[in-house]
Structure 1
Amino acid sequence: MLAHVTEVEPLVEHWRRRFDASASAGIPAHVTVLFPFLDVDLISTAVISDLRTLIGEHSPFTVRFDECRRFPDVLYLAPTPDQPLRALTETIAARWPEAPPYGGQFAEVIPHLTVAHGQQAHVFDEVEAELAERLPATATISSVSMFVSDGESWRRHGEFPMLK
């Protein structure tokens, strides 16, 4: 489950294609809402209906990306405000506790748009310096997309608009 950040795609697509494997696997520039989600075989019409209802209870919102930040192995753009994204994650994870964010790996989920992953610090420095000249960027989040994988690539499996 992800929030596609269409307006930021031109800013980051060059770097993502080079340094984020999810881009070449078919995932657009995004902020993750919930990953992993349910196995595709478990995504029934009832699941789709529940997602439509839960996500539809949220309002569209605008985020601004002012700066790059880092996790140990990731360079990312930080969305502000991040609370609406956290709320989406919490809503979906509460409904499907068997699918905790990032498999329960992290105590706190930090919304982010990955630009580069698994690179040396000097590569992150170069990417960050180039992006800093082009920031800030603003995007409107008005839906959540579900992507599923066939083991090699990802494809959009559903789109859930925020309606409130």
Structure 2
Amino acid sequence: MADDDAQGLQAGQSGLIVRVPEAEPLVRAWRDRLDPSARAGVPAHVTVLFPFLEASRIDDDVCAEIGEVLGRHQSFEACFKRCGRFPGVLYLAPEPDTGFRRLTEAIVARWPEHPPFGGQFDDPVPHLTVAQGQDEAQVEQAETDLLTGLPVVAQVSSVDLLVHDGTRWRERASFPLSPSDV
């Protein structure tokens, strides 16, 4: 998921993400080189919640609950117009980010024992990670290249549940959002 790497991950960890396939043509080559999560099978995405439940706790009832919680939210459009930085991380920033924040808030309200990123950040910022833990020169080169391909407009219509098998992330389920009224 965002801001993690293959080190320290164990089989059975899970997370909820919004795939952003519209960004793949722009970010794929950079993510493959500069983001360990891409090499572990995670597509271009914005994290809704990581870490989530241990995979052994995710049964049909839990999936039904996830679907119910997320199904109360309408699909929405997000535009990635700019790059942003955290320490050691280059990302694309979605605008507006309200829809992503609401999805996270809804899942955390149902599973409060699983705060975003383990409670590491007071206000987790929705983002699409492109590079993490890399040499600054490479990150600057990536950012310069990315800026020439922005904006990327994405339609957010589902949230995917990914589970780590010990080596790679694999999709376990996908949960549709309600169609927007627009």
Same fold (TM over 0.5): yes
- The 2-side partners of 1:104 and 1:42 are apart by 20
- Residue 104 in structure 1 maps to residue 115 in structure 2: no
**Is residue 10 of structure 1 aligned with residue 59 of structure 2?**
no
User: 1:58 and 2:73 equivalent?
Assistant: yes
Same amino acid, percent of matched pairs: 50
Residue in 1 aligned with 2:143?
128
Counterpart for residue 45 of structure 1:
60
Gaps of 5+ in 1: none
* TM-score normalised according to structure 1 size: 0.98
2: CA distance, partners of 1:45 / 1:98: 20
Is residue 157 from structure 1 mapped to residue 153 from structure 2 by the alignment? no
Q: TM-score, normalised by structure 2?
A: 0.89
**Residue 11 (structure 1) shift:** 0.7
> CA–CA distance in 2 between the matches of 1:126 and 1:26?
24
- Bigger mean CA offset, 117-126 vs 146-155: 117-126
1:7-65: per-residue Cα shift (whole Å, max 9, x none)? 11111000000000111111100000000000000102111011111111100101001
Displacement of 1:120 in angstroms is 2.1
Q: How many residues align?
A: 164
1:31 aligns to what? 46
CA distance in 1, matches of 2:39, 2:143: 20
Runs of 4+ in 1 over 6 A off after TM superposition: none
What value does the CA root-mean-square deviation take over the aligned residues? Answer: 0.7
**What's the counterpart of residue 96 of structure 2?**
81
